[in-house]
């Protein structure tokens, strides 16, 4: 499955992913110690919702536009992150994970971004101008392992590929296993699109075999059954989520359900430990 983020910027998957990513980093920042934030597949950093690619799908109407009009205070941080890249009240730009992570940085934290695609890496450097982020242009999986353990005691690795390669899930599984051996207590966030249940269940079984003690799975299926050939939802695997994050997750997921499915008929968001 080829999931180019420029076509899907601001959709429901982005709302869930970025809301949870903000909550995760905020929970880690309850302690004063420095964090290293690493984004292995950073993309362009900033997306034009009025551009041809985003307009072709129009998915932002079912995602960020709904979240911006929902007044639940649990989504305040997410809305603020989106509004921060739009100078006017009109929504024109959507921040990718690099922009959102940069907004969360404290003076003691650092942000490392990686994007292998030359054109996207060029766009990323432009989008991150004025921030303290370091931008690399390397193989994502090689960089993931090379930077572990980070120089700071704590950190987060965000893995968010477009799933263009047929072996993407295998590379993630293999690299995650090696990463956990190098950095057993590290927090890792792996985003994935959901195409069909059989493929996803097979991958979950492969991840279960790694024996990671704390591996949280958050899934947002848009339909009750697979719709062939289309995007059926998205999810996150989160390794070693902090306690404060997991405690605050149920009400946040309730808020996201209400915002993204005001009629109650637009999919389901669930969370559970992979070992259960």
Report the DSSP pairing between strands 93-95 and 46-48: antiparallel
**pLDDT for res 59:** 82
Query: Quick check: is 167 catalytic?
Result: no
Q: Percent of the chain scored above 70 by pLDDT?
A: 91
**pLDDT for res 2:** 45
Q: Whose structure tokens read 């968010």? A: 160
Catalytic residue among 160, 167, 196, 263: 160
For the chain, first and last CA: distance in Å? 28
What does the angle CA 73 – CA 79 – CA 80 come to, to the nearest 5 degrees? 100
Domains of the chain, earliest start first: 5-273 (3.40.50.150)
Q: Examine residue 131 and say whether the peptide bond preceding it is cis (omega within 30 degrees of 0).
A: no
Distance CA 237, CA 241 (A): 10
Q: What is the pLDDT of residues 48-71, one digit of tens each?
A: 998 777 677 678 888 999 999 999
Distant-in-sequence, close-in-space partners of 96: CB < 8 Å, separation ≥ 6: 5, 9, 42, 43, 44, 45, 46, 47, 127
**pLDDT for res 130:** 94
**pLDDT for res 266:** 57
β-bridge mates for residue 35, sequence order: 154
Write out residues in the chain with pLDDT < 70, as ranges: 1-6, 54, 57, 223-231, 262-267, 276
């Amino acid at each position: 499955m080829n999931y180019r983020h420029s076509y899907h910027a601001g959709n429901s998957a982005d709302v869930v992913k970025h809301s949870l990513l903000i909550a995760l980093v905020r929970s880690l920042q309850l302690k004063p110690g420095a964090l290293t934030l690493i984004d292995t597949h950073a993309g362009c950093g900033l997306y034009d919702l009025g551009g041809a690619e985003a307009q072709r799908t129009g998915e932002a109407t079912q995602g960020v536009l709904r979240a911006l009009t929902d007044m639940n205070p649990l989504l305040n941080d997410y809305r603020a992150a989106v509004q921060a890249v739009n100078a006017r009240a009109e929504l024109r730009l959507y921040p990718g994970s690099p922009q959102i992570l940069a907004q969360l940085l404290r003076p003691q934290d650092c942000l490392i971004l990686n994007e292998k695609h030359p054109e996207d890496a060029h766009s990323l450097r432009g989008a991150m101008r004025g921030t303290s982020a370091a931008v690399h242009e390397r193989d994502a999986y090689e960089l993931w392992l090379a930077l572990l353990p980070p120089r700071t005691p704590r950190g987060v690795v965000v893995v968010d590929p477009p799933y263009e390669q047929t072996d993407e899930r295998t590379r993630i599984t293999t690299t995650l296993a090696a990463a956990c051996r190098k950095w057993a207590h590290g927090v890792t966030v792996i985003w994935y699109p959901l195409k069909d249940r059989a493929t996803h269940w097979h991958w979950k079984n492969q991840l279960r075999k790694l024996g990671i003690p704390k591996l949280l799975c958050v899934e947002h299926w848009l339909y009750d059954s697979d719709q062939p050939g289309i995007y059926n939802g998205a999810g996150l695997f989160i390794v070693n989520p902090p306690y404060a994050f997991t405690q605050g997750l149920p009400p946040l997921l309730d808020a996201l359900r209400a915002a993204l499915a005001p009629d109650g008929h637009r999919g389901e968001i669930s969370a559970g430990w992979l070992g259960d």
